[in-house]
Amino acid sequence: MMRYYTCDTSVIISRKLSDLPDNFLFSSVVLLELVAGAKDDSRRKYYVSLANDYRKDNSLIVPDFDDWLLAGKVLYWLTQGRRRKAGGKAPRSKPGAAQRMAFDALLAVSARRWETTVVTDNWNDFKAIQRYCNLKLIKGSDFFK
């Protein structure tokens, strides 16, 4: 059985897309982040074209209803854990941290449904998510040796 991989946004940004293996699946969550953060319109169009290619050959991971629901539960459990550690009140997060964690949780649970290993440079956040979601992970530095 072939093993499949998907990369989080930080991995895609820090490496060449041409380095991705044949058994790579593209995540629509990552697409959202790449398109939103594109440096110019030509790069945005490139990401959209790339995603359309993956969609055509059924290798685009798109979260479904159950993924959205599980991602919400994972975020709830992570928040409850932070509250317990802080003695009942959740500590303030850095600006944008909640949004990034929501995207990571959605990527994680949808990759899990596809039985895909997530390649990440954002190890600590994905390890935290993994406590609540049986997810296969590998560090980007180990994957791209």
Q: What's the average model confidence in pLDDT over 72-99?
A: 82
Long-range contact set of residues 67-75: C-beta below 8 Å, sequence gap at least 24: 67/106, 67/109, 67/110, 67/113, 68/106, 70/109, 70/133, 71/102, 71/105, 71/106, 71/108, 71/109, 73/132, 74/105, 74/108, 74/109, 74/129, 74/132, 74/133, 75/101, 75/102, 75/105
**Average confidence (pLDDT) over 78-99:** 79
Full domain range(s) for residue 107: 4-143
- The answer on pLDDT for 91 being more than 90 is no
How high does pLDDT run on average in the chain?
A: 91
The predicted pLDDT at position 38 comes to 94
**In this prediction, what percent of the chain has a pLDDT beyond 90?**
72
- pTM value? 0.89
How large is the average pLDDT for residues 11-21? Answer: 82
Higher pLDDT, 21 or 30: 30
- Ranking 10-14, 16-20, 81-85 by mean pLDDT, the lowest is 16-20
Q: Do you know the residue count of the chain?
A: 145
- Does position 145 have pLDDT exceeding 90, yes or no? no
Examine the pLDDT at 86 and tell me if it is beyond 70.
Answer: yes
pLDDT of residue 116: 96
Domain of 125: which CATH number? 3.40.50.1010
Q: How many domains is the chain built from?
A: 1
* Pairwise CA distance, residues 113 & 96, whole Å: 26
* pLDDT level of residue 144 (50, 70, 90 thresholds): confident
